[in-house]
Amino acid sequence: MSAHATTTGEYAVLQPVIEEQPALRVLPAAPASLFGTFAMRLAVIIVLVFIAGLTAAVAQAYTFANDSTASLSELLTPPNGCSMPCWHGIQPGSTTVTEAAAILQGLPFVEDVRVTSNMISWWWSDNRPAVYVQTGRAFDGRIETAMINGEDRVTSIVLQTTMPFGQMELALGDPDSRTLHTVHPNNDRQSDGVVHVAHYGSMDVFNILTCPMDVVDFWNSPVYVAFGTPNLAFEGEVFQSETLPDWFFRDTAPGCAG
């Protein structure tokens, strides 16, 4: 700072003296290291892949839940006025053979309905609900019939499904009881096994297991659903139990002990 006199000379007034400063130089930015750039890109890619995977997993779980709900609804939701056990208006012990055949012929996903002695059979069309299986055998679905009160009536409905047993038990809860049938085939092309039947009132859910039995296979195996009193004629030993017996998954289990 320097002092300069005013025009009157009475006071000295301090006025700033602005000295010229050198111009600022803008230096070029130091180039980022190759490792830093690669690490940043890799981190971004990992985050994007994680988000994409999480989104796909959520979408898959949502789709599976929707498919399972639709499958259970198709199997277990009777129409109005028909109490369980009932499938599409066909009720074991009540519906006549003539009525059952007419109902089947009216379903858009059923083909070639055949009525024979003590049985009605049919095939699924290609636009069937996803829960039903086209077996490629003599028929896809069957209804057993018998003479009741002087008239041929439905006694049971048996449906092969794509639903895994674990999903079925998760939806229905623990069964009232279980029946285990040992199976010993008559030829070498098939293996020994066990038919596991879970009883839920007037509905049975059963899955067929081959030896050696495995926990994962047990819960993932597709089930048959039977309404009424089906004729499950399996040769071999029969075991009744409220829960799975301790020996069920052992190599020494009946039906798998050789």
Is the residue at 123 inside a domain?
yes
Instruction: Please report whether residue 47 resides in a domain.
Output: no
The count of structural domains within the chain is 1
Average pLDDT, the chain: 78
Closest by Cα among 244, 247, 256, 253 to 178: 244
User: Rounded CA gap, 234 and 202, in Å?
Assistant: 19
The pLDDT value given to residue 45: 58
Q: Using the Cα atoms of residue 129, residue 71, residue 78 and residue 240 in order, give the sign of their dihedral.
A: positive
250 in any annotated domain = no
Q: Quick one: tokens of 232?
A: 């499950």
pTM over 0.85: no
Which residues, in sequence order, are CB contacts of 67 under 8 Å at separation 6+? 130
What's the pLDDT score for residue 164?
94
Is residue 236 domain-resident? yes
Give the model confidence (pLDDT) of 176-217 as tens digits.
999 988 877 666 666 678 889 999 998 999 998 888 888 999
Is 160 contained in some domain? yes
In this predicted structure, what is the pLDDT of residue 23? Answer: 53
Any domain includes 252: no
What confidence score (pLDDT) does residue 61 get?
36
Q: How far is CA 119 from CA 56, 199, 222, 239, in A?
A: 45, 23, 24, 28
**Is residue 31 one of the residues assigned to a domain?**
no
- Return d(Cα 60, Cα 27) in angstroms, integer: 53
pLDDT at 3 over 60: no
Q: Are 181 and 199 in contact (CB under 8 A)?
A: no
The per-residue pLDDT for range 223-258, each reduced to its tens digit, is 999 999 888 767 678 888 888 888 888 877 777 766
Residue-range definition of the domain harbouring residue 118: 69-241
String of b and e for 52-91 (b: at least 16 CB within 10 Å)?
eeeeeeeeeeeeeeeebeebbebbbebeeeeeebbbbbbb
Cβ atoms of residues 6 and 13 within 8 Å: yes
- Residue 221 in any domain: the answer is yes
The answer to whether 223 touches 207, Cβ cutoff 8 Å, is: yes
